[in-house]
Amino acid sequence: MGKTEVEVAARPRVGLVSTGDEIVPVEAKPAPGQTRDANRHGLAALCWQSGGEPVPMGIVPDQVEALQQAAAEALADCDVLTISGGSSAGAHDLTFEVLQHLGAPGVFVNGIALRPGKPTIIASSAGKLAFGLPGHPVSALIVFHRLVRPVLSWLTGSELRDLCLTARVTRNISSRSGYTEYVRVRLYSESGEWLAEPLFGKSATLAPLAEADGMIEIAQGAEGVTEGQSVQVILWS
C-alpha cells in the first residue's frame, strides 16, 4: 500500500485502587465481616477489554492519609484513576475527601442517577480523570462499563460501539422513576427468537452477574419494561 508508518495509540494506564478495612486479597480466607477483593480482578478484565492497561495499586485501608498517598501515586503513574469503595455516605467513606483534595479542579460529580451505581464520584486533577466507584462489585463493573470505558475509547481515538442483540423480555421489570437502570439478563433461543430472562440480585452479589450474557438499559423516564417487549441487550463482549 506504500505506507511505511501507521498511527497507533498506547493503551491508557488505569490505576485500580481498592479501599476498605473489610477487603482482603482473593487468595485469603475472609474472617467474619471481611470480603475478598473481587473488584480488582473484575475491573482489570474489563479494563483490558476496553483497550486500557490495568495497574493494580493494592488494597488501601479506610485511612485518609493512606488513601491520599495511593491515589496520588496512581494518578502520577497512570492516565485514569479508579477507587472502588468508600464513595457512599458512611463515616468511613473517604473517597470524596481524597479526590476533592487531589488537585484542582477536584470533584465535579458526586452521585449520579444510575442504578446500580448511584454513589459514583468523578473528579479531575492535572488534566486526568479520577472515578470513585461503588464498592459493590456489580455496581463498580456497570459504572466502569458505562462511564470509564468511553473515556478509554476517547483517549485512544477509537470508536466506541456497544455490541447489542434484540430480544424479548420474559417478565415484567419495574423501574425507579428518575434513574437510568441497568438490569442483567440471561439470553436463550426459543422458536427462532431470542428471549431475555431478567436476573435480579443485590449489587454485592456476583452470581447473577456471572450468569448474565448482558444487560438492558431502562431509560430514566420509562416506568419499566413489560413482558414480551422487545429490547436491546448490551452484550458483555
Nearest C-alpha neighbor of 84 from the set 71, 73, 72:
71
Rg (CA), the chain: 19
Joined together, the cell numbers standing for residue 102 give: 487531589
Q: Could you tell me the domains of the chain?
A: 13-156 (3.40.980.10), 164-235 (2.40.340.10)
pTM confidence score: 0.91
Helices (H), 110-187: 137-143, 149-156
pLDDT in 10s for each residue of the chain, 237 residues: 999 998 888 999 999 999 988 999 999 999 999 999 999 999 999 999 999 999 999 999 989 999 999 999 999 999 999 999 876 555 446 899 999 998 889 999 999 999 999 999 999 998 999 999 999 999 999 999 999 999 999 999 988 889 999 999 999 999 888 899 999 999 999 999 999 999 988 777 788 888 999 999 999 988 899 999 999 999 987
Residues 36 and 25: their CA atoms lie apart, in Å, by 6
